[in-house]
């Protein structure tokens, strides 16, 4: 309980602080190519990045009524975490720091503000230098171009230097599973304590998660990092852990084998069992793993967690209603398929039989009989034997009605022919 409360407090008050970027100490702007405001012939932007606070010279002296700027091309894109602007004492003003990844020399980039100083009244004073030291949040990604943008009116502003610093690459944490030992053996129903050792050279460990195969077991956020895996069923398991540091970088430990054996009192005997109660003794598994039957060390049949029997296959086709899947041919002396519907409705008075012309039109359009599945449907979804037998019987019964109707017409035509013949004989 104390560990959980302490973790909650850390989450609210400490973790947000340690997730900040770790800045490097190298000034990425030093002596990098710099371009200043194009309409000022006196601009000397290179002096902003020469590392000398005595070389501000005549930087932007002519036009003080409009915004002025200079952009710096870094050697490569960087996650900018700190910018320092140095001014001549008493000659500082309002400004922005902006970034982009589009080369301003070859197009019109969209600049993103990463810092805006609109009330620059109290910079730090060091001798004859006024300093703005700005921390940049870590949510702007990496950028290669940085713009120092002075906001008019400039009022005799004298910027001396612009320094840019990038975040150091985060070092991944280290983690290992210190217990149980690899190939450790336990008895079913026991609690297995998983213990991890984790460290982070440039930050802190945020949490350690414990896994069994693809199954998440639990998490611990305070050292010593442990998880009590309770009531473990018989089986062979692979356990491991994953450590996350304060910047959410993760490292996975190696896999450790854990063997859980059945207790001697509940094991089946190959020579038979006496006094077996159906509610307490069984052959099978106590988890969701399939019951597998092997021959020659090859899986030949299995019962999966849904109760489906799979023969010569490890996957069940179709949905969860499939309870038997066989990869191969089935032979049987007799096969019965329970069927809830049959086709005798065709002979019920009032059944509307399609005209033969209508059947012909349907066949020409769809290339199969009405109510009979087409080839694509059978190939993609298989064939429901019971439904198909009912559909075929429906077609047979409809065909019988067509034959009966045709026979009536033939009899009528024969009667008319005999009558016409008698009339001609009398003449």
Beta strands at 192-199 and 225-229: parallel, antiparallel or unpaired: antiparallel
Integer-rounded Cα radius of gyration of the chain = 42
Q: How far apart are CA 189 and CA 264, in angstroms?
A: 13
Residue 40 three-state SS: coil
Q: What is residue 168's predicted lDDT score, i.e. its pLDDT?
A: 85
Q: Which of 91, 101, 81, 83 is nearest to 21 (CA)?
A: 81
Q: Which of 166, 143, 138, 135 is nearest to 19 (CA)?
A: 138
pLDDT in tens, 122-161: 899 999 899 999 999 988 889 999 999 998 887 778 888 9
CA distances from 380 to 235, 266, 318, 322, 376 (A): 38, 46, 10, 16, 6
Q: What are the residues whose beta carbons fall under 8 Å from the beta carbon of 125, sequence distance 6 or more?
A: 89, 131
Given a contact cutoff of 8 angstroms between Cβ atoms, the answer to whether 92 and 148 are in contact is no
Residue pointed to by tokens 């038997």: 324
**Sequence-ordered strand ranges (E) for 213-343:** 215-220, 225-229, 235-245, 250-252, 256-261, 291-295, 298-303, 309-311, 324-326
In this structure, what token pair is assigned to residue 89? 């004492």
In this structure, what token pair is assigned to residue 349? 């008075």
Which secondary-structure segment (H or E) carries 366?
helix 356-366
In this structure, what token pair is assigned to residue 22? 């770790």
23-59 in b/e burial notation, b at 16+ Cβ within 10 A? Answer: bbeebbbeebebbbbeebeebbbbbbbeeebeebeeb
Output the tens digit of pLDDT for each of the chain's 427 residues.
444 444 444 443 433 333 456 788 999 999 999 998 765 555 678 889 999 888 764 455 556 778 888 999 999 999 999 999 999 888 888 999 999 999 999 888 999 999 999 998 889 999 989 999 999 998 888 999 999 999 888 777 888 899 999 988 888 999 999 999 999 999 988 899 999 999 998 789 999 999 999 999 999 999 999 999 999 999 999 999 999 998 899 999 999 999 998 876 555 555 555 555 555 556 677 778 888 888 888 888 888 888 888 898 887 777 778 888 888 888 888 877 777 778 788 888 888 888 888 888 888 999 889 888 889 888 888 777 788 888 888 889 888 988 888 898 899 989 888 888 888 887 6
Strands of the 225-229 sheet, one edge to the other = 174-179, 192-199, 225-229
Q: How many residues are present in the chain? A: 427
DSSP string of 49-90, one letter each residue? GSS-TT--TTSS-S--SS-EEEEEEEEEEE-EEEEEEEEETT
Model pTM above 0.75? no
């Amino acid at each position: 309980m104390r560990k959980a409360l302490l973790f909650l407090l850390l989450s609210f008050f400490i973790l947000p602080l340690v997730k900040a970027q770790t800045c490097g100490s190298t000034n990425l702007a030093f002596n990098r190519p710099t371009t200043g405001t194009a309409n000022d012939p006196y601009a000397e932007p290179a002096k902003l990045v020469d590392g000398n606070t005595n070389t501000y010279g005549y930087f932007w002296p002519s036009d003080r009524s409009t915004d002025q700027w200079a952009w710096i091309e870094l050697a490569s894109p960087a996650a900018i975490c700190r910018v320092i602007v140095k001014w001549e004492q008493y000659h500082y003003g309002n400004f922005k720091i902006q970034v982009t990844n589009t080369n301003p020399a070859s197009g019109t980039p969209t600049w993103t503000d990463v810092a805006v100083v609109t009330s620059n009244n109290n910079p730090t004073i060091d001798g004859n230098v006024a300093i703005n030291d700005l921390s940049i949040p870590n949510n702007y990604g990496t950028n290669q171009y940085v713009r120092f943008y002075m906001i008019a009116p400039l009022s005799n502003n004298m910027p001396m230097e612009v320094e840019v610093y990038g975040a150091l690459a985060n070092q991944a944490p280290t983690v290992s599973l210190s217990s149980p030992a690899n190939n450790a053996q336990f008895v079913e129903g026991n609690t297995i304590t998983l213990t991890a050792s984790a460290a982070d050279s440039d930050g802190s460990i945020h949490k350690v998660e414990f896994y069994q195969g693809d199954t998440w077991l639990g998490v611990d956020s305070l050292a010593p990092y442990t998880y009590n895996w309770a009531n473990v069923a018989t089986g062979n398991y692979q356990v491991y852990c994953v450590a996350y540091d304060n910047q959410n970088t993760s490292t996975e430990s190696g896999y450790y084998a854990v063997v859980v054996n059945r207790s001697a009192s509940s094991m089946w005997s190959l020579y038979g069992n006496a006094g077996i109660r159906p509610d307490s003794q069984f052959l099978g598994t106590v988890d969701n793993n399939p019951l597998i039957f092997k021959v020659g060390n090859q899986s030949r049949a299995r019962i999966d967690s849904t109760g489906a029997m799979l023969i010569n296959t490890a996957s069940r086709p179709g949905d969860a209603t499939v309870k038997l899947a066989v990869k191969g041919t089935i032979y049987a002396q007799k096969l019965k398929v329970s069927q809830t519907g049959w086709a005798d409705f065709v002979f019920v008075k009032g059944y509307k039989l399609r005209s033969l012309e209508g059947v012909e039109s349907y066949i020409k359009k769809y290339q199969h009989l009405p109510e009979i599945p087409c080839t694509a449907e059978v190939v993609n979804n298989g064939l429901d034997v019971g439904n198909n037998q009912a559909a075929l019987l429906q077609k047979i019964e409809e065909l019988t009605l067509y034959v009966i109707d045709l026979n009536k017409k033939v009899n009528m035509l024969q009667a008319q022919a005999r009558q016409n013949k008698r009339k001609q004989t009398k003449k």
